[in-house]
Structure 1
């Protein structure tokens, strides 16, 4: 053993370096150095986190409104008894993706095709907050109508048979489950002034729509141009498919009347147009 070897203390946990200096190999020392070398993650102030979360929520609301679900309200009594004036509903848009359009029996929300709504039925938000909420889909939107699709492209709609039933492509519809009955009205299509009219064939890309409250619904039947009948004739009683926002699937409010809105069986056996 050399003098240099004897000078090394076995308890000393340092090792020599090429330049004669010593460095520590202690795990504790290495751990301390590693801890000091790491940068501590800084948290955002509460107010910044709040703004960030609100921004994320706003973006999600816009995306949901644009692609999936939107809130609306019922502007009139035209869809009674199922949907009452001022009811809040939800409309889903997924069903009409990829070219699949509305089907007979669907309750749909669509943009006013041209002066169908009165000023009192526009129902636009009345202040800045509700206007902003409406833009992102968090508040029911006005300027739209809610009706049931009765005829699609190629269909012929006729009113009415001896039992007062609307027929589509010659098939009478049993609408007892959802059409409002009213005293003094003998058929399911009275907005034209009588129970004898026909519409169609419905043009491509168009829909023939009617309210469930047939005596009080400014729908397609009310906009027919028929001879010797007092109607609000617009020469185009049809609704463009492109103006449809989506299909009603939930009656959301009032909560005591919460219900799912679906397609009735009345249209199941309607034949395709010939």
Structure 2
């Protein structure tokens, strides 16, 4: 029991899939194992990862919460079964801090100007025709998430008016779903699709995150220059008026 509790707290936790928003990657009733160790070491989610996160701001408002019995509560507490009480969501990370993300009607999702090839999208769905968006720049320490069943997923696209602008704070992320553990005939890993390894997708994001630094430094450097120039003009005017036999006015 102690070992199970430690594993649940620091290493791996089981979660049950309650909806169809991640079909066909995940089916309702699937049990997934979530890696909780990586966030403990400060690593942030990567593009393409399927992540579990706490409700960032009323996304699950109005959704019913099951009432498990005492034994179910105990088993979920020590990590031997998924928790039925926690209000968590599971989606795919599409863009991370510094990325520009967009999707126009009839078009693909683009990250940093590069179109994503998304074979994991539910058959018959479009990338975003039901809810186009962007272009949006993902703030630092936040992610943009979407369900694989695009026409049946209330994801970042539908919450752009909330306190986080539809983005999910990284500190709300529980971990990355790595394995479908149950049922046995559904066992599979959840790798990052190759489309997120496109050449150039990272360089643009890095440039966006660092581009503000020169602007900030330039602004800070301009302040003393302006003050020095002002003092110099005041001193010059004072000297001129003193030479003319007048008392300078207060600047």
TM-score band (shorter)?
Answer: 0.7 to 0.9
1:7 paired residue number: none
Inter-partner Cα distance in structure 1 for 2:62 and 2:30 = 19
Q: CA deviation at 1:267?
A: 0.6
Distance 1:181 1:160, change over 3 A: farther
Distance 1:81 1:119, change over 3 A: same
Listed as ranges, the matches of 1:218-257 within 5 Å are 218-225=154-161, 236-257=165-186
Per-residue deviation, residues 13-50 of structure 1 (Å, max 9, x unmatched): xxxxxxxxxxxxxxxxxxxxxxxxxxxxxxxxxxxxxx
SS at match of 1:129: helix
1:72 paired residue number: 15
Inter-partner Cα distance in structure 2 for 1:199 and 1:214 = 18
Inter-partner Cα distance in structure 2 for 1:102 and 1:266 = 16
Q: Normalising by the residue count of structure 2, what TM-score does the alignment of the two structures yield?
A: 0.74
Per-residue deviation, residues 201-247 of structure 1 (Å, max 9, x unmatched): 1111111100000111010011124xxxxxxx666201111111111
1:189 paired residue number: 128
2:113 paired residue number: 170
2:24 paired residue number: 81
For the Cα contact (< 8 Å) 1:70–1:92, is it kept in 2? yes
**Structure 2 portions without partners, runs of 5+:** 209-251
For the Cα contact (< 8 Å) 1:91–1:249, is it kept in 2? yes
Q: CA deviation at 1:161?
A: 7.4
Q: CA deviation at 1:74?
A: 0.8
For the Cα contact (< 8 Å) 1:161–1:172, is it kept in 2? no
1:209 paired residue number: 145
In the alignment of these two chains, the number of paired residues is: 201
Greater than 6 Å deviation, 4+ residue runs: none
Q: CA deviation at 1:129?
A: 0.6
SS at match of 2:177: strand
SS at match of 1:117: coil
For the Cα contact (< 8 Å) 2:57–2:164, is it kept in 1? no
Structure with the higher fraction of residues in helix conformation? 2
1:147 paired residue number: 91
Inter-partner Cα distance in structure 1 for 2:33 and 2:67 = 17
Q: Normalising by the residue count of structure 1, what TM-score does the alignment of the two structures yield?
A: 0.68
Inter-partner Cα distance in structure 1 for 2:62 and 2:5 = 27
Inter-partner Cα distance in structure 2 for 1:112 and 1:199 = 24
2:40 paired residue number: 97
Inter-partner Cα distance in structure 1 for 2:8 and 2:156 = 27
Q: Look at both structures and tell me which one has the larger radius of gyration over its CA atoms.
A: 1
Q: CA deviation at 1:61?
A: 1.3
RMSD (Å), alpha carbons: 1.9
1:130 aligns with 2:130: no
Q: CA deviation at 1:179?
A: 0.8
Larger relative contact order (CA 8 Å, sep ≥ 6): 2
